[in-house]
Structure 1
Amino acid sequence: MSDEPDETPRLDVPVGMFEDIEDLKSQLAQLTALVEARTGGDSAETVEAVSADEEEPAGGDAEGEEEEWQYPPFILLLDPPEYDDELRGLIEWVEGVLVPGYLGEPSADAKWCHRWFEHSVAIARLHAAWLAWQELTNPVSCGNTGPSVWHRDHLDPALRELRGAAGPFAGCTKGEHRVEHRLPSLVPSAWTHEDGA
């Protein structure tokens, strides 16, 4: 008599299920790291924070919604002094990390304005790249592939848009800064024309 079952159980595993499980494990690790970072790493506080989020009503009040919408702080929506603080941090990162590490000499094909912080489009794009850099260079939350993802998905597209022929620095030349070149002029419209007769 054999201890083996008469029939082998059928294990139908959908294709890609193990990859999905690994992705879920990675996402869980990232969320756990994020919760621990925001609560100071105390697991009791982590449980309370998660429970509080789950118990909050769907409608919520206006003040509660404002408190929830703090991350990420899209810079163009901030008011002073938060805007000034965020811009100061962005300038330090751009001038301390981005310019010396990634920007070569400006040219006709790859422009750069030394007064980039006066171009709102540049501020918005660089701020987005900076937020992604803060997240994707932390191995606890993103693993070892974060920097590669940051370069591919954030830095390279941002620099292409900023330094390209139609970017915000298109009217700036070496030594000369022009913001007004990006402001649209009045466009004639049939609705505003008065009858000349």
Structure 2
Amino acid sequence: MSDEPDETPSLNVPVGMFQDIEDIKAELLRLNTLVSTLTGSDGAEPGEAPADDAAAGGEPAEEEAADDEWQYPPFILLLDPPAYDDELRALIEWVEGVLVPGYLAEPSADARWCHLWFEHSVAIARLHAVWLAWQELTDPASCGYTGPSVWHRDHLDPALRELRGSTGPFAGCTKGEHQIEHRMPSTVPSAWSHGDDG
């Protein structure tokens, strides 16, 4: 007695669907190859250890694990000194060397800028985020050739609108007689502290 059914069921599948499936298979194969190339994988199946790890007993070296932990810099406001100071120095170098000469025109009432921007924590946070995105999106190996366009549209332009707007962190910084005078906003009284009311 056979396990196969007596009749073959009729399937009403459009002919074009088989072509679509073949196209999807080809695209999946292409993407798998691309991922293998970008990650340096040796073509091992998912879930298999690469040949180097298998030869070494399958255990990754502790040094490699430590390096991977700090592969990308954390957000600057989460750092403590001296890591914060080092990251801020690198950010200042990028802002003053790339952003200011390349993207910032003369400050005005509609486009404010403070030459002491690094004293404004909001400016540090926003500019650091823009810088992290710039590092990633200007590398064709990680983002292709559209990365710079995406960086301008999604990161730089919105950040500059927020920073340079009339209600941005530089609203209290004014320009007068060819010098930028810097004024930090005064401390806002907290609803949680009542001072010395006895």
Same fold (TM over 0.5): yes
Question: 1:48 Cα deviation (Å)?
Answer: 7.5
User: With CA pairs under 8 Å and 6+ residues apart, which has the higher RCO, 1 or 2?
Assistant: 1
Distance 1:140 1:110, change over 3 A: same
Distance 1:127 1:188, change over 3 A: closer
Spell out, residue by residue over 1:12-41, the C-alpha distance to the aligned partner (whole angstroms, 9 max, x if none): 2799x979x8699679847853x45xxxxx
Q: Which runs of 5+ in 1 are unaligned?
A: 1-7, 37-41, 57-63, 193-197
- 1:28 and 1:91 map into 2 onto residues whose CA distance is 39
1:81 maps to amino acid: P
Counterpart position of 1:164: 165
Spell out, residue by residue over 1:49-99, the C-alpha distance to the aligned partner (whole angstroms, 9 max, x if none): 999xxx99xxxxxxx99x747634100001111111111110010000000
Distance 1:146 1:25, change over 3 A: farther
1:169 maps to amino acid: F
The aligned runs of 1:17-166 (5 Å cut-off) are 29=34, 33=38, 35=39, 47=50, 68=69, 71-166=72-167
TM-score (norm 2): 0.65
Matched residue SS, 1:104: coil
The 8 Å contact of residues 30 and 141 in structure 1, kept in 2 or not, is answered as no
Matched residue SS, 2:98: helix
Q: Which runs of 5+ in 2 are unaligned?
A: 1-12, 44-48, 60-64
Q: Which moved more, 1:79-88 or 1:97-106?
A: 79-88
- 1:119 and 1:109 map into 2 onto residues whose CA distance is 19
Larger radius of gyration: 2
1:177 and 2:178 are equivalent in the alignment: no
Distance 1:77 1:115, change over 3 A: same
Question: 1:142 Cα deviation (Å)?
Answer: 0.8
- 1:137 and 1:120 map into 2 onto residues whose CA distance is 25
TM-score (norm 1): 0.66
More helix per residue: 1 or 2? 1
Matched residue SS, 1:12: helix
Counterpart position of 1:10: 15
CA RMSD of aligned residues (A): 4.3
